[in-house]
Amino acid sequence: MSQSPSPRELANAVRFLAMDAVQQANSGHPGAPMGMADFAQVVWCDFMKHNPTNPAWWDRDRLVLSGGHASMLLYAMLHLSGYDLSLDDIKNFRQLHSRTPGHPEYGLTPGVETTTGPLGQGICNAVGFALAEKILAATYNRPGHPVVDHNTYCFLGDGDLMEGISHEACSLAGTLKLGKLIALWDDNRISIEGNVDEWFADDTAKRFEAYGWHVVACVDGHDAEAVRQAVAAAKAETERPSIICCRTEIGHGAPTVCGSERCHGSPLGAEEIEKARENLGWPHEPFHVPDALYAGWDLREKGAQTEASWDQAWAAYAKEFPELAEEFARRMRGELPANWEEESGKFIAGVRDAAEDKATRKASQAALNGYGPLLPELLGGSADLAGSNGTLWSGSKHITPNDAAGNNMRYGVREFAMGAIMNALTLHGGFIPFGGTFLVFSDYMRNAMRLAALMELRTIYVLTHDSIGVGEDGPTHQPVEHVSSLRIMPNMDVWRPCDTVETAVAWKCAIESEKTPSSLVLSRQGLPFMQRNAEQVENIVKGGYILRDAEDGNPEAIIIATGSEVSLAMSAADALARKGRSVRVVSMPCADRFDQQDDAYKLQVLPAEVEARVAVEAGSTGLWFKYVGGKGTVIGMDRYGESAPGKTLFEFFGFTVDNVVEAVESVLGE
């Protein structure tokens, strides 16, 4: 080995750590890290601005490994360059509670910017990171003070490009001129089933040219100098995102299986690894990296110097623009403004006093008008449905390709990309993003929503047209199962408010929910205002509360309802009262929050001795049986809807006062 390791020698350290870790775990994907090691080393060591001793530095470059199955590539680079990831962590690859799991997971491994498992999500996250940088730079930078100035790099493969979500996001990236986004395509022509030529014959270069990207085609991904020139050209292009097409060989260096699917998703085997050691001139034992290579990889001093230089620039900026600096820093720390609690409380009190009948999608828009001026970090958007979703508020300013200093994204008809981009906006720091679509279309971004829940991100989904109340559009647009399907997602708060007050509280909770995404499920049709006392308003945050009680506080039956069905429950309780029945109505806008309360509160709202219970919701019934118990019943929708006016449909499917009264009397034994 030469005194100064060559790029190929540095890359080989990654290759063999990947081979050895996968072999020891007897599980994993060695081929992609081996094929990508050469171009990854050039990007990581020669171009990226990052500090291993402070992975959370605000102005670092971001790297997204979109093909998360190649996780050992990233883990090896993190370890070698001085991040807090030990050789023991590398040896513990894919084991229980390991810091090196099978796919990169945000919050678990220092230096991992986002969780990448499902293919296509990562490139969309990269678009979101680049978008975040562009917006913050346009908002806060001042002449001579570029305190927001970093690039986003993404390594992606054929599988990422085959997934449709990549089209959605990359099309948008080109339109928005995200010039600091640089993607490197690992063009090895191999996926699990073999050579992709028979099922992936796209001209990728022309595809990205059509999006408006800068394309650097036909780069030898194993030639460090060729890669270096390509990345330099991409960095020099600031008006367009760039994709560098790196032709590589999967499993490069393993003489028997390289270039084939045989090294994609399984260990190479001891014999093949020995052949690779001979082939690449690596005479070292498993997991051994010579000191000279560690020294060649070590980026701690370089990173610390780079951050220190930025610190000086930041200090000069903060001195000249103290208010801007204070706001930017608060946003990047993820803290709400000092006056948030007081002002949001005043807004909710005002909503209660106004006592307006209103569709909850309109109440949501009103909440944005109330909270928006307090929160410059709120970044809204909609998948081409802003007028219907109510995601535009009085202070909305559209983000455009030539003016990114705004707070509203027009995502176009791209629900899937919208969800993934919102995740990256949150991960980047400085934003609380919300995005709107019809509830029935949440299916399109469900995977991104799941990843938000998995990563514990504060993202907010505005999901309107929440039931058969959609009406004439028919069953294709009437969400029946969607609320329940979102409720079973771990760490997702699903709010289905019944009026303006519950909607305002739901928004406040979503904004304050630092580690849980929120789905706000909202009605198309107008809903009546519900009178409440101060204690009831306070209890909304608990997810379920007593909206109406028996006169003596000892009900013989309980009706539980959400959203548009709460007013129905109240009317049924009135009818039952006229019959001499004492009935409690429980509004449960967020079952997830209610389930988190202590047993004392839950039993106060739903006392065990009251077994006569009826739940009412215009959606799937299954999840409600845990609240109504074995003697209760549920009025809901376990079939698809029909095309007719909403009022007609509610009557046809049994959402009437008479039917609820009959159900209560039935569970009471009458």
Question: In the numeric block, which tokens belong to residue 19?
Answer: 């081979």
Q: In angstroms, rounded to a whole number, what is the distance separating the alpha carbons of residues 514 and 61? A: 24
Burial of 99 (0-12, 13-18, 19+ CB in 10 A): buried
* Residue 123 and residue 132 in contact, taking contact as beta carbons nearer than 8 Å: no
Q: In angstroms, rounded to a whole number, what is the distance separating the alpha carbons of residues 235 and 524? A: 47
**Is residue 264 part of an annotated ligand binding site?**
yes
Q: Is 644 helix (H, G, I), strand (E, B) or coil?
A: coil
Question: In the numeric block, which tokens belong to residue 25?
Answer: 């775990």
147: which DSSP letter? -
Using alpha carbons, select from 136, 83, 469, 508 the residue that is nearest to residue 297.
Answer: 83
**Is residue 468 part of an annotated ligand binding site?**
no
**Is residue 428 part of an annotated ligand binding site?**
no
| Active-site residue (options: 163, 261, 415, 617) | 415
**Which residues are 586's β-sheet partners?**
546, 560
Residue 198 is a catalytic residue: no
Q: In angstroms, rounded to a whole number, what is the distance separating the alpha carbons of residues 382 and 361? A: 13
Transcribe 246-287 into DSSP letters: EE--TTTT-TTTTTSGGGTSS---HHHHHHHHHHHT--PPTT
**Is residue 288 part of an annotated ligand binding site?**
no
**Is residue 145 part of an annotated ligand binding site?**
no
Question: In the numeric block, which tokens belong to residue 51?
Answer: 């500090």
**Is residue 441 part of an annotated ligand binding site?**
yes
Q: In angstroms, rounded to a whole number, what is the distance separating the alpha carbons of residues 438 and 419? A: 13
**Is residue 300 part of an annotated ligand binding site?**
no
Q: Is 670 helix (H, G, I), strand (E, B) or coil?
A: coil
Q: In angstroms, rounded to a whole number, what is the distance separating the alpha carbons of residues 395 and 415? A: 23
Outline where DSSP puts E strands in 54-180.
62-65, 152-157
**Is residue 188 part of an annotated ligand binding site?**
yes
Q: Is the dihedral of CA 154, 155, 160, 161 positive or negative?
A: positive
Q: Any idea how long the chain is?
A: 670
Q: In angstroms, rounded to a whole number, what is the distance separating the alpha carbons of residues 215 and 233? A: 10
**Is residue 398 part of an annotated ligand binding site?**
no
| 514 to 121, 456, 503, 524: CA distances (angstroms) | 22, 8, 19, 28
| 221 to 5, 226, 276, 282: CA distances (angstroms) | 19, 8, 19, 21
Q: In angstroms, rounded to a whole number, what is the distance separating the alpha carbons of residues 333 and 390? A: 28
Q: In angstroms, rounded to a whole number, what is the distance separating the alpha carbons of residues 382 and 384? A: 6
**Is residue 69 part of an annotated ligand binding site?**
yes
* Residue 123 and residue 169 in contact, taking contact as beta carbons nearer than 8 Å: yes
**Is residue 158 part of an annotated ligand binding site?**
yes
Name the binding residues for Mg(2+).
158, 188, 190
Q: Which residues are annotated as a binding site for substrate?
A: 29, 264, 361, 388, 465, 473, 477, 524
- Please enumerate, by residue number, every residue annotated as part of a binding site: 29, 69, 117-119, 158-159, 188, 190, 264, 361, 388, 441, 465, 473, 477, 524
Q: Which residues are catalytic?
A: 415
